Amino acid sequence: MAQYDVAIIGAGPAGMTAAIYAARANLKVLLLDKLAPGGQIVNTFEIQNYTGMGTINGAELAIKMFEHTLELGVNFDYGTVTSIRAEGNLKELICEEGLSFTAKAVIIATGTKPRMLGVPGEINFAGTSISWCAICDGPHYRGKKVIVIGGGNSAVEEAIYLAGLAQEVTVVTLFNLTADPSACDKLKALANVRVYEYYDILEFLGSDKFEGLKARSTKTPGEITIFADGAFEYIGLKPTAEAFKELGILNDYGYIETDAYMATSVPGIYGAGDIISKHLRQVITACSDGAIAAQSVAKYIEKLN
């Protein structure tokens, strides 16, 4: 069994940045992910606030980051970590695929996954007519009608992208549009976009075929029915840290608690990126977390030796 100085779980911006900094500190690094490297940014059409990049496609940025890790000799492998045995100075990572790895330190950067509404009809169409990735599934709706659920940055940015493909885009949000004002203005200026603010989704319609949804206003009496060919949900994210619950490092919301050095309460285990308890979850803050975590790991391992 190969032994590493640090094993990094999750190959999103936080994990890849941690890998880069750890490799530059002359550590033997393992970068693990159950999917292709990139995390959430792989599914993002445009990123406009990553310093120095201007506007860049999310998948393109992910590729650039991953190529950087490979240039530094980082070992990458596929694996779904189900638990960590943290006894003594060595940590053992147990994977669903039957694999296991050992390392002196671990950085958990598993990120988040999209939330679901939990309303009738959602499960029936999840993954087919209801999607969480406009860049993946948007082209299927060229010249058709789609609904975007949510009012934050992701919802508004993806609605703008979909408006360039679909005949009609209807945005439905429980509150008002909370995205960056410039993005909201751009969305509202599009001729094929309608916005319904302060509407609560009641159910998705259709038996064998998706037909649309029914929603109720939270401001005035009455319901609306919106007919469409598909829907995209952007109503927030939830942490993917279930595998680490037994370590006692999660808060009541399921996020990992860390200090300013990205260290958890378990010596040798660190967190980074969207998975940790923090105020701002952006690509640039994830990278910052990864850099700090890697530097902390380097100092931790130096003390072990």
Mean pLDDT of 186-205: 97
Amino acid at the residue 12: G
- With 80 as the cut, is the pLDDT of residue 174 above it? yes
Q: What is the CATH number of domain 122-233?
A: 3.50.50.60
* CATH annotation of 3-114+238-304: 3.50.50.60
The DSSP line for 8-65 is: EE--SHHHHHHHHHHHHTT--EEEEESS-TTGGGGG-S-B--STT-SSB-HHHHHHHH
CA distances from 243 to 96, 106, 256 (A): 11, 14, 11
Q: Looking at residues 273-300, what average pLDDT do you find? A: 96
Cα 213 to the center of its chain, rounded Å = 26
What average pLDDT score do residues 296-304 get?
96
Q: Of the given ranges (93-97, 117-121, 195-199, 290-294), which has the lowest mean pLDDT? A: 93-97
- Residue 136, pLDDT score: 82
Other residues' Cβ atoms within 10 Å of the Cβ of residue 253? 9
Full-model pTM: 0.82
Spatial separation of the C-alpha atoms in residues 305 and 303, rounded to whole Å: 5
- Give the residue range(s) of CATH 3.50.50.60 domains in the chain: 3-114+238-304, 122-233
The stretch 264-290 carries a mean pLDDT of 95
Q: What is the pLDDT of residues 114-169, one digit of tens each?
A: 899 999 999 999 989 999 988 888 999 999 999 999 999 999 999 999 999 999 99
What pLDDT does residue 1 have? Answer: 63
